[in-house]
Structure 1
Amino acid sequence: MNKMETHPLRRSRAFLTVFLKEVRENLRDRRTLISAFLTGPLLTPLLFTMLISFTVNRELDKAEQPLKVPVIGAQYAPNLVGALKAGGVLPQPALANPEQAVRDQQADLVLRISAGYPKAWRKGEPVQVELIYDSSQRDSGTSVDRVTKLVENYSRQQGAMRLVARGLSPALASPVMVAKRDQATAQSRAVLMFNMLPYLFVLTIFIGGMYLAIDLTAGERERQSLEPLFANPVPRWKVFLGKLAAICAFSTASLVICLVAFSVVGRFIPTDKLGMEVHLGPSFALHVLLLQLPLIVLLGALQSLVAAFAKSYREAQTYLSLLMMVPILPSIFLMVMPIKPQHWMYAVPLLGQHLGILDLVRGEGVGAIPLALCLAGTSLAALIAALVTMQLYRSERLAISG
């Protein structure tokens, strides 16, 4: 039993005393330090960067390297096969059962040219070739798109030559043409790749304070150290605010480490190869920290509330593991229902932070009204959660184990 639990707290310094006590004690806890300062804030940016870099480089290499494609009936369309070779496709021997070969992943795709191809070609009739592939295999998408474009380009070239041979302009085949004017900037396109970034920040905050929240409620309850603490002549709300401040301090430190890590490893993400641009430097980090400050308090209060209902440390871990699924809801919602952000959405906790961070990734910045709504809405939710938890701290049952 520590000094804090055996001597009365000074009323004027109760909050600060509880805060410093909890911070000091948990800085000695290896499990808390690893989760708050290593697992979430450092491993998350590193794994995210490695995954993105590996995926991008792999897809780009696959798009540039020679592509081996089994071709059935290559002898019927030598010119088409020649065009495919010029485009980097290496025709392979025909397969007896191409459908089964694709399902068994022996080949990403198979090109089949029918025996009627030469006759239809000589008559000037449309001809058809088949691409056999399995769309459920994500690895085949790049190969299918590559071969499809080569065949379509060959088709347009041959169609234009047929019109010229008949004394007609090739433009007759395309009476209406679409001119695309993409208004996306290199930075705004980065949202397509960094859509999960807001969730990673929230997850870092959650993990950073989770073990501390468990230890300060269910852990002390299990060790039967809450009852001596509550016996001090100090208002319970000061004890709770001291513990909440300690949880928020660890969560904030975890987020800061994560932001610094992203600013470093983010430079190694090959966004330039995709025509994208992303800035995760000091300005981005400060804006993210501002957006997340009320959310840090909200999550800390909710973690304390949920952990207070648990009778043991392990039970609290189970409850908070389920609570950890809540922060991913905005990401899932926006992926399933990609909607245009409205001002009121910024006032919704988690959703407002998600939208605000995506605005920062786009390079647009967060407007004054969305920023105010985001901070006000989440702060109100944090206040309500803190008041509810504070009320729970007044219950004598909280201090009793078992």
Structure 2
Amino acid sequence: MKTTLTVFFKEVKENLRDRRTLTSALLFGPLIGPIFFVMIMNVVITRELNKADQPIKVPVIGAQYAPNMIDALKQQGLVPQPAMTDPEVAVRNQDADVVLRIPQNFGKSWRKGETSQVELIYDSSQRDTGSSVDRLRRMLETYGRHQGAMRLVARGLSPAMMAPVSVDERDQSTPQSRAGQLFAIMPYFFVLTIFMGGMYLAIDLTAGERERQSLEPLFANPVPRWKILLGKLGAICVFSLASLLISVIAFGVCGKFVPTERLGMMINLGPSFAMQVLLIMLPLVMLLASLQTLVAAFAKSYREAQTYLSILMMVPALPSVLLSVMPVKVVNWMYYVPLLSQQVGITQLLRGEQLTAVQISHCVVTGLVVALFATLVTAWVYRSERLAISA
């Protein structure tokens, strides 16, 4: 134990002086995610809400053929713009989000009581067009329902005949569960923070020392190598855990600046959320520290280890990507799978649902078991004489 503590305090003290390690573990890694996430969400939400509150400007072709409809759409917030010669090209070139085209026979069909057709010209592959197209479509549908009801009244019929089925929607979502969907990417940021927090330390303590030819004299001491390994892993875990703690606090602070209330949502990233996140992520801190050290042990230089660990960084992203493209129902067996259990657990917390003691224990225990196995494999690799010989 004395040897392990000696190595631990030595590595922590030396890396506290390393500007690159401190920047990665305590500044760049834990803060870049919350800051960029909040900035992007604020820009997107504010922009969309501002567009929803402002009148919508739409080029209209053939406005003279349906003056009454244009007047009705103006009352709903439409600002007609001059017609375009080639609306298809204008939409593809993003000169307009959507173009409304009214055919010349619109009035003739209207007077006969027939269905009058209009065209919405837009490009659904453009991200900015969605809200404008939806608003204009709702305006036209509202106008169509109103005029349809007026036609029935003129014929002595009840407008209720147009709606033989009435749909009463009962949305079971809560303000926090809707916010949980908005913040669903947060678990990946936590995993990435842990990885970044210990990556440069793991590289330096194995491949870096091997490249500097300082690992061989260290292994020459008459102490078991597993004790040296535990000291190094302890130092990596401390930096990773500190990075995670900073990230959780940063998300709690930055989350208050996201205007979720304007969307009818609510997010709670307070102390209870932070404590549960730290608890279920603790096994992952140990697991990633062991995996990073294991991968770095096969590298002969610092740069080579960076390449290997950059590839390894893609592994923690898999659960987040899979759950985002293939939404699945949360079942108990998921809490037995490391990485997946953390993703599912944090997502449930973001939705305002409480994790049971059994679910948390499954997440922690199975994670610790896998972390222990990874540590044993790393210890076995540390016994190799090839690792002791500098490249």
TM-score by length of 2: 0.99
Residues 1:116 and 2:105 aligned together: yes
Matches within 5 A, 1:3-402: 12-402=1-391
Which letter does structure 2 place at the counterpart of 1:89? L
What CA distance in whole angstroms lies between the structure 2 residues aligned with 1:345 and 1:67? 46
1:4 matched to which residue of 2? none
What CA distance in whole angstroms lies between the structure 2 residues aligned with 1:80 and 1:353? 54
What CA distance in whole angstroms lies between the structure 2 residues aligned with 1:326 and 1:224? 31
- Matched residue of 2:369: which SS? helix
What CA distance in whole angstroms lies between the structure 1 residues aligned with 2:296 and 2:230? 15
- 1:368 positional shift: 2.4
What CA distance in whole angstroms lies between the structure 1 residues aligned with 2:130 and 2:336? 39
Cα offsets for 1:88-134 (capped at 9, x unmatched): 11101111111111111111110001111101111111111110000
Cα offsets for 1:13-66 (capped at 9, x unmatched): 011101000000000000000000100112221111111111000011111112
What CA distance in whole angstroms lies between the structure 2 residues aligned with 1:292 and 1:226? 31
Asked whether the 8 Å contact 1:224–1:399 carries over to 2, the reply is no
Cα root mean square deviation, aligned = 0.8
Q: What is the count of residue pairs matched by the alignment? A: 391
Asked whether the 8 Å contact 2:341–2:363 carries over to 1, the reply is yes
What CA distance in whole angstroms lies between the structure 2 residues aligned with 1:300 and 1:239? 14
TM-score by length of 1: 0.96
Gaps spanning 5+ residues in structure 2: where? none
What CA distance in whole angstroms lies between the structure 2 residues aligned with 1:400 and 1:58? 59
What CA distance in whole angstroms lies between the structure 2 residues aligned with 1:185 and 1:357? 17
- Matched residue of 1:138: which SS? coil
- Matched residue of 2:164: which SS? coil
Asked whether the 8 Å contact 1:36–1:209 carries over to 2, the reply is yes
- Matched residue of 2:128: which SS? helix
Q: Following superposition, which runs of at least 4 residues in structure 1 exceed 3 angstroms of deviation? A: none
Asked whether the 8 Å contact 1:344–1:373 carries over to 2, the reply is no
Cα offsets for 1:267-287 (capped at 9, x unmatched): 110000111100111111100
- Matched residue of 1:115: which SS? coil
Cα offsets for 1:303-350 (capped at 9, x unmatched): 000111011000000111111111111111111211101111111111
Cα offsets for 1:166-204 (capped at 9, x unmatched): 111111001001111001000011122101000000000
- 1:82 positional shift: 1.1
Asked whether the 8 Å contact 1:343–1:369 carries over to 2, the reply is no
